[in-house]
Amino acid sequence: MQKFAAGAWSAVLPAVVLCASLNAPVLAQDDRSVIASPDGRLSAEFWSENGLPRYRVLYDGEDVISASSLGLRFVVAGSLDRDLEIVGESRASQDLTWELPWGERRVVRDHHNELLVSYRHEEEAERGFDIRVRVFDEGLGFRYEVPVPGGEHRAIVDEVTSFAMPQQATTWWTQAADYNRYEYITRTTPLIDVETAHTPFTARLPDGGVHVAIHEAALVDYSGMRLDQQREGVLTAELAPGPDGVAVHKDGDFITPWRTIQVAEDAVGLINSDLILNLNEPNVLGDVSWVEPGKYVGIWWGMHIGTMSWGSGPIHGATTENAIEYLDFAADNGFSGVLVEGWNIGWDGDWFSNGALFSFTQPYPDFDIEAVTDHARERGVRLIGHHETSGHLTNYENQMEDAFALYERLGVTQVKTGYVADAGDLIRLDEQGEERREWHYGQYAVNHHIRVLETAARHHISINAHEPVKDTGLRRTYPNWISREGARGQEFNAWGVPPNPPEHISMLAFTRMLAGPMDFTPGIFNLTFSGPDSPNRVQTTLAKQLALYVVIYSPIQMAADLPENYAINPDAFQFIRDVPTDWENSVALQGEVGDFVVTARQERGGTDWFLGAVTDEEARTLSVPLDFLESGRRYRADIYSDGEGAHWHDDPYPVSIEHREVNAQDVLELDLAAGGGTAIRFAALDG
Ligand code: NOJ
Ligand code: CA
């Protein structure tokens, strides 16, 4: 499927030129403001070097981020990147817990030390910024807090924040500023070979194996940060510009998103962290009991493999008849929803170029939306709504109030949105009705998503955005932001050139997934839908598709395949029926970036545990102690593993299903085939 045409990287800004060498002599410790984590292992230092604001991060006394720059540049005079000195500091500490309404765990601990460092201009005392840094045991975040006297306007063209690391660090990253938004295969290179990268950006330092992930938290009313290697070994924040070349417009005092640096002594330590959520503001929506985790099926995969169409015609997928069949399948198998794409006027013709033509309230004549939602109500399931905007933000904003009101009246509580358009090619009409182009992660798009969330929330609707802005933990503040895409999902296996490689999931777990939930849409059972020799196939075993429900966190999980493919494999399908999507607790047990990962999660409000293990193209045997289980309890382990001869390429289908009694003292040996995986349900037994 030709979904995207190549696009141009417009409005490129001049490269930042640092004014002093980053290798300048280190100042005496006394001149620095220093703050350490509660356990004392991680620390950050802030100072001014010949007027240039600087910081550094250390773990066990060794540099993680060596001397790096701070600062903001504006279009007109008044930039905050030089002639700054530290004029004061204040400190605070916090240790508390708070609850996620849904999530990979219920209770989150926020334990950090905080430092506020005030940098002011050497001659103009009112000019400057404060850096607020919060240091947790598993990483830190800092942000700029900028007082702007008189509420004046500031036009930010550049953020000078940089992250200096050893050039030989191993890094895992996807290219940024390129047409396919966040949807690229993860690269493994030494730092020196990084070009412009998205975050989360993951690295392993050369000695000792310390893992680092750079990202951001609470991206609100600002432009998303890409990392650009402007000098060898120094990644610099690069903000996506608006159509006027300015990255961020601000009036009066402002704060930036948090720049986050996770640090862990092993790879899974990056996953077992709540840093990003802790740096976001609490829920602003009040009672969110209407936000419902769940599993869903959909009129969807058929379009991606070409057996159905979004637009009208002989193979139109979104017919009343098909929807009723899917609703019945959902109800019979314990799913809570059915996604229906292609239900509304606008898909005919070249839909990815015709965003202005979409109606979000008018169904196609062969889709009787009232009959469909009546049937859903009778069967105790819900229709899941779909709004593909094709990147026309204004067309969507003009209709979204009516669109959400319609869905609310029909009992729809979740809507999948879509922004299929080349990066940098979102369309908005300005006050004069002129077309302006925006990045998916520019300030305008960032604010657009919040407007959608707020409008949806008034109608008790949750949003699952595809082709979104990256996740920065805003689900804490807006719990109706229930999931999103923002990486190569399952759909790439239908038509991607190439499809997702066997190592894809072991990459996502340590990169994209550090940001938050992903609507990957697992569960393809017919892995060779175009024949085993076609390049379009899923490059995993069937057992690995089951493991994805545990390894990839999302409060909504799709069973993405066609119902008929589940009907012929009911035994393996049982795992998808059993696995929940909301968790009391989660722990990544073992793994290496790009190689393998083993994750265990406890059902929220229940006693069952689930385990998912996936490997890359290498077969491997993993020894997994079950000490995460409640001690003294007995469990029936339903083990779905790669069967005899399984191999992602040669024979992906054999699944062996075994039931055993286990307890917390046991150690399981998991045999993963090449491109394979294991999925386990631990059902607690009485007594
Ligand atoms: C891209 C989304 O990721 C996919 O799930 C959807 O089917 C198409 N856009 C059409 O909206
Ligand atoms: Ca997509």
CA separation, residue 447 to residues 256, 359, 398, 439, 442 (Å): 14, 22, 15, 12, 9
Could you tell me if 273 and 298 lie in one domain?
no
Domain assignment present for 374: yes
On the question of pLDDT at 3 being above 60, the answer is no
159 inside domain: yes
152 and 40, same structural domain? yes
Number of domains into which the chain is organized: 3
Establish whether residue 155 lines the binding site of ligand 1, counting it when its CB lies within 6 angstroms of any ligand atom: no
Q: Domain with 380 in it: what CATH number?
A: 3.20.20.70
CA-closest candidate to residue 638, choices 664, 614, 607, 609: 609
Does one domain contain both 86 and 172?
yes
Same domain, 200 and 299: no
pLDDT at 2 over 60: no
The 10 Å Cβ neighbour count of residue 590 is 17
> Is 491 marked active-site?
yes
Q: What is the pLDDT of residues 364-401, one digit of tens each?
A: 999 999 999 999 999 999 999 999 999 999 999 999 99
Q: How is residue 519 written in tokens?
A: 């609507």
Claim to verify: residue 547 and residue 606 sit in the same structural domain: yes
Q: In this model, does residue 6 exceed pLDDT 60?
A: no
Whether residues 474 and 614 fall in one domain: no
User: 77 falls in which pLDDT band (50, 70, 90)?
Assistant: confident
Question: How much is the pLDDT for 30?
Answer: 57
More reliable by pLDDT, 8 or 599:
599
The sign one gets for the Cα dihedral 536, 568, 564, 655 is negative
Do the domain assignments include residue 531?
no
Please tell me whether residues 384 and 483 are part of one structural domain: yes
Note whether residue 651 is domain-resident: yes
Residue finishing a domain among 278, 298, 315: 278
Q: Indicate whether residue 108 lines ligand 1 (CB < 6 A).
A: no
Q: Are residues 199 and 292 in the same domain?
A: no
Q: What is the DSSP string of 378-421?
A: HHT-EEEEEEE-TTBHHHHHHHHHHHHHHHHHTT--EEEEE--S
Mean pLDDT of 416-435: 97
CA distance 435 to 262: 40
Pick from 244, 278, 312: which residue ends a domain?
278
Does 521 have pLDDT greater than 60?
A: yes
Start-to-end Cα distance in the chain: 54
Q: Is residue 514 part of a domain?
A: no
Instruction: Provide mean pLDDT across the span 651-671.
Output: 98
Angle 392-395-401 (CA atoms, 0-180°, nearest 5)?
Answer: 125
d(CA 210, CA 265): 5
Same domain, 82 and 198: yes
Domain end point (choices 253, 278, 303): 278
Q: Residue 486 C-alpha to ligand 2 middle, in angstroms?
A: 7
CATH number of 579's domain? 2.60.40.1180
Check pocket membership of 137 for ligand 1, CB cut-off 6 A: no
**Å from CA of 389 to ligand 2 middle:** 12
Among 339, 344, 464, 491, which is best to mutate for testing ligand 1, by the most ligand atoms less than 8 A from CB?
491
In a domain, 245, yes or no: yes
Sort strands 337-340 and 42-49 into parallel, antiparallel or unpaired: unpaired
CATH number for the domain including 100?
2.70.98.10
The answer as to whether 364 is a domain residue is yes
The residue contributing the CA closest to ligand 1 atom 11 is 388
Q: Are residues 321 and 236 in the same domain?
A: no
Q: Which domain holds residue 638?
A: 543-552+570-687
**pLDDT confidence bin for 26, thresholds 50/70/90:** very low
Residues 108 and 184 in one domain: yes
Q: For 572-585, what is the mean pLDDT? A: 98
Check whether residue 116 and residue 249 sit in a common domain.
Answer: yes
Residue 401 forms part of a structural domain: yes
Phi and psi at residue 151, in whole multiples of 5°? 65, 25
Tokens linked to 49: 């070097």
Pair type for strands 634-642 and 435-438: unpaired
Rounded to the nearest 10°, the torsion over CA 218, 222, 226, 229 is -120
